[in-house]
Structure 1
Amino acid sequence: MAATTQAKAPKGGHKYQAVRAYLADLIVSELAVGDAVPSERVLTEKFGVSRMTVRQALDALVADGVLQREQGRGTFVAPQHTDFEMRLTTFGEEARRRGMVPGTQVLESGTTPAGRLVAEALGCGEDELMHYVERLRFADGTPMGVERAWVPVHLAPDLLDDGVPDSLYDALKVRGHAPTWGEDTILAAEATAKELALLAMNGGRAVLRAHRRTFSDDGACMYSQMCYRGDRYSVVVPLREARPTIVPRVQPDADDTADGADG
């Protein structure tokens, strides 16, 4: 029987770093999403270190989103996060820009009064009629977010006559209200029971909520909310020199926070 070769940490380095480096290389070269990594016992024997040292290496990779633990089952390679840059584009455009296939399921659509939150965001009366759309967004077949959007009816009376357009931004553009700029407010939150079910989130409840006001040259043209699953989604925010806020930010109440849309 061949003798077991014991790996060693680099001279002068922390022992857990050798375990972490080994696992990182294993994930890249041999394992796929959902595969189990070697157990703590196996790693302890392989590197000749304590179980606490092995756990430290695993904890670091879990914190980085590379691994995920499942209670009673073990530690597995986690699905990698999808980075979306916050720009005035649609979800579909951002997905395609990253080589992913976008998908949409319309959950609800119709006409409704603006209500307090939407009225404050768009600077209109609470009774003003809005087109309302709620959609589930997919990337490569995986549910990534739940979105809601409100568009003033007077800007596009026929917006939903033939069903929900693939892109609300494009639909506004052909009607003379091309979106030119917007403002996002991003909140960390917990998913509701409905969101957990729609997004097939079996682990944590963490989500990102983006509240967006979109403007065309002639004023506010859309208010939207998006609930992104925190285990598969990260946001890239380009930075520039600080400038005064053009319009006061909307500060949604906790009771008003819901899943939403980005056009």
Structure 2
Amino acid sequence: MSAAAPVPPPDRVVNGPTPKHAQLREILRRTVERELPPGAPIPSERDLAQRYGVSRLTVRSAIGKLVEEGLLARVRGKGTFTAARRMELQVYLMSFTDDMLRRGLTPATEVVATSTEVPPATSAQALGLADGVPAHHLVRLRRADGVPLAVERGWYHAGRTPGLLDLDLSRSLYAQLADAYGARPDHAWQTVWAESADRETARLLNIRAGSPLLVFRRVSSSNGEPVEDMTSWYRGDHYQVTMQLDRNAPDSGHQPHGGNR
């Protein structure tokens, strides 16, 4: 284990109206953001308590808040480390596999569940299915360099993808849609929102229930025919989204296919 990086001494915790744990939290925040690289260990609770003349309970409270914010990460049996910098979540039409390879990471996929059943009304509408018509349902866990990053729960038009669930779904799904059906998605509407992890999603992502997630619902089509309605839950401590905004009038009256969640 590498030696903990020292916290610069000029900052100090003082008696005053601001709680000591809040003061220490901001000291540590500045240190992490300005001085320490991703994955660097921080001093132990005992060392920080001695350095700043506060109780270990105060240190634990300050660190806990930064862990909740995703700035620090606890590793059982090893200590607390600065978290990896958040990746930009792609807002263009690319598969998770291709996106991770582009970043120089090794993607891996675990198939959690598959079925063919009648989808919810919103998904049936998005896929252009009549009431009662079944669709393929696929749940997958996506990892990069062994770290669980996203849970995907998708519905697929069974009439346009017969035998989909018999394919090797641990591989890039978009590549297989292209190879098996000539239906690689070429257009999509995507809706983004924030959500807290429920117990099942938290278990799959190896995070605490209630942790922040970025959620993307994507309705994709190929050659003008809807083929996929997928919702992905991404870990909020690993991702951020940046968008370019221009001062243009919105396309009034034009709604995404499938609507919002």
Q: When the two structures are superposed, what TM-score results if normalisation uses the length of structure 1? A: 0.71
Amino acid at match of 2:174: Y
Mark the CA change 1:131 to 1:26 in structure 2 (over 3 Å): closer, same or farther: same
Matched, 1:77 2:85: no
**Alignment-derived partner of residue 52 in structure 2:** 44
Residues 170-198 of structure 1, C-alpha deviation per residue, up to 9 Å, x if partnerless?
22223232311111111211111111111
CA contact (8 A) 1:37 1:76 kept: no
CA contact (8 A) 2:185 2:220 kept: yes
Gaps of 5+ in 2: 1-7, 12-22, 54-58
**Alignment-derived partner of residue 250 in structure 1:** 259
CA shift at 1:64, angstroms?
6.7
Q: Distance in 1 between matches of 2:95 and 2:171?
A: 10
Q: How many residues are matched?
A: 234
Amino acid at match of 2:259: V
Which of the residues 137, 150, 158 maps onto 1:153?
A: 158
CA contact (8 A) 1:134 1:149 kept: yes
Residues 107-145 of structure 1, C-alpha deviation per residue, up to 9 Å, x if partnerless?
111311233121122232132221221101101101111
- Identity level (%): 27
CA shift at 1:35, angstroms?
6.5
CA shift at 1:147, angstroms?
0.6
Gaps of 5+ in 1: 1-5, 10-14, 46-53, 253-263
Q: When the two structures are superposed, what TM-score results if normalisation uses the length of structure 2? A: 0.72
Amino acid at match of 1:128: V
Mark the CA change 1:212 to 1:36 in structure 2 (over 3 Å): closer, same or farther: farther
CA shift at 1:238, angstroms?
4.4
CA contact (8 A) 1:107 1:136 kept: yes
Q: Distance in 1 between matches of 2:220 and 2:105?
A: 25
Secondary structure at the aligned position of 1:92 is classed as: helix
Secondary structure at the aligned position of 2:185 is classed as: coil
**Alignment-derived partner of residue 105 in structure 1:** 110
Q: Distance in 2 between matches of 1:216 and 1:148?
A: 19
Which of the residues 37, 40, 58 maps onto 1:32?
A: 40
**Alignment-derived partner of residue 207 in structure 1:** 213
CA shift at 1:239, angstroms?
4.2
Mark the CA change 1:219 to 1:19 in structure 2 (over 3 Å): closer, same or farther: closer
Q: Distance in 2 between matches of 1:35 and 1:19?
A: 10
**Alignment-derived partner of residue 197 in structure 1:** 203
Mark the CA change 1:199 to 1:130 in structure 2 (over 3 Å): closer, same or farther: same
Which has the higher mean CA deviation after the structures are superposed, 16-25 or 81-90? 16-25
CA shift at 1:97, angstroms?
1.5
